[in-house]
Amino acid sequence: MRWFISTAISLPANGDGYRVDAHTSTPENPYVHPELTEILAALPQRPENPYADIAALRTGFAALMAPLMTAHDTRVTVRRTSFPGPDGNTVDVQVLRPAGAEGVLPGVLYLHGGGFAYGELDGPSPMARDACAAAGAVVVNVHYRLAPEHRYPAGVEDCYAALEWMVASAAELGVDTGRIAVTGASAGGGLSAAVCLMARDRQGPRIAWQGLLIPCLDDRDHTASRRRITDRRIINGRGIARTWDTYLGPDRGPDVPAYAAPARATDLAGLPPAYVLTCGLDPLRDEGLDYAHRLMAADVPVEVKDVPGAWHFFEAYAPGSALARRTTTHWLGALRNALTPAAPAAEHPAATTATTAPAVPA
């Protein structure tokens, strides 16, 4: 089994703009990518507990994303539908398809981020639209139930039900059930990892690839990056603790299930090939890298991309930066490659003459 590692690291001046002498990194003065320094300096401090006012949090996120939303994206077509959920509820989805595409296409189950509590937008997110266009795939964008109104397991069960609905509706949707990926960022990355665990354990639909982008995987506050990232202008370790309180409840016991926090899974064997994206100023960095290493140890093919000097979801704050474009291009390329059938290997001429080739002199 092959493992793929693709990490961006600080190097002498190159096309990515990293320099080893450009910044002296210390715990009190962490490395910030040069393209992001002015943007970070201009950010206001976030509330100590952003989840204390859920309505304001959701409104603020919608305002942040508004410049990236579009009323009409000529690359894709969108239709809205729904299906019965696992608890008698109704799960709304948006089905995206590349404009003009015909026939059967690969499928992507896209699970949005937002701390399990926000992130649901009226139109398909830029990430869902980009995934559809870049991979030439049918994308099912799931509006799962949100915390704190609906705590675990409501959201993840909606996501798993969406996977089953996608496969059951494959003929109608034009989806190749042999080429289905599950992906999402932040909470969506954690939900993606959980859905893969559920599909394996429940002998459910086959998943060809999991894209875990800056994933929120571990409710336990025990990594160096969780402790190190304290800057209140960006998502920090204390904010992540509030995220888990909102999703699981502040009075939860110690035995949190792996479908809630996938880092707690003790067996990662048999899971789909994975792509894991992390950022250097993200409190979730270490749990993402640790999960990638554990997948490798379980003989799961893994590709890792780390972005030094960038914070959690930095692309939304610096969408025009070269760093954001490169990061987006990288994960979309990995998704496209995972869903593109491999071309048959050309027969090597030597293969047909191996039995008649002259002996090599001793």
Instruction: Please report, in tens digits, the pLDDT of each residue of the chain (362 residues total).
Output: 333 333 333 333 334 444 434 455 666 679 999 999 999 999 999 999 999 999 999 999 999 899 888 778 999 999 999 999 999 999 999 999 999 999 999 999 999 999 999 998 877 889 999 999 999 999 999 999 999 999 999 999 999 999 999 999 999 999 999 999 999 999 999 999 999 999 999 999 999 999 999 999 999 999 999 999 999 999 999 999 999 999 999 999 999 999 999 999 999 999 999 999 999 999 999 999 999 999 999 999 999 999 999 999 999 999 999 999 999 999 999 999 999 987 666 554 444 333 333 333 33
- In 3-state terms the chain splits into helix, strand, coil percentages (rounded to 5) of 35, 15, 45
What integer pLDDT is reported at residue 281 of this predicted model? 98
What integer pLDDT is reported at residue 29 of this predicted model? 78
> What is each CA distance from 347 to 2, 350, 352, in whole angstroms?
22, 8, 8
158 and 86 Cβ atoms separated by less than 8 Å: yes
Count the neighbouring beta carbons within 10 Å of the beta carbon of residue 174.
Answer: 16
Count the neighbouring beta carbons within 10 Å of the beta carbon of residue 150.
Answer: 18
Which one is catalytic: 186, 218, 231, 306? 186
| pLDDT, tens only, 154-196 | 999 999 999 999 999 999 999 999 999 999 999 999 999 999 9
Which one is catalytic: 130, 282, 286, 306? 282
CB-based contacts of 50: which residues, under 8 Å, 6+ apart? 57, 115, 239, 242
CB-based contacts of 311: which residues, under 8 Å, 6+ apart? 36, 40, 229, 231, 234, 235, 279, 281, 282, 317
Report the chain's terminal Cα–Cα distance, integer Å: 34
Helices (H), the chain: 37-42, 54-65, 126-135, 154-168, 170-173, 187-201, 224-228, 237-248, 285-297, 322-339, 349-353
124 closest CA partner among 158, 89, 84, 73: 73
What integer pLDDT is reported at residue 24 of this predicted model? 57
pTM over 0.75: yes
What integer pLDDT is reported at residue 346 of this predicted model? 58
| pLDDT, tens only, 315-332 | 999 999 999 999 999 999
> What is each CA distance from 2 to 7, 209, 291, 340, 345, in whole angstroms?
16, 15, 17, 18, 17
Between β-strands 4-5 and 76-84, what pairing exists: parallel, antiparallel or unpaired?
unpaired
Q: In angstroms, rounded to a whole number, what is the distance separating the alpha carbons of residues 7 and 10?
A: 10
Annotated catalytic, 293? no
Annotated catalytic, 245? no
Annotated catalytic, 348? no
- Interhelix angle 126-135/322-339, nearest 10 degrees: 50
What integer pLDDT is reported at residue 12 of this predicted model? 31
What integer pLDDT is reported at residue 25 of this predicted model? 64
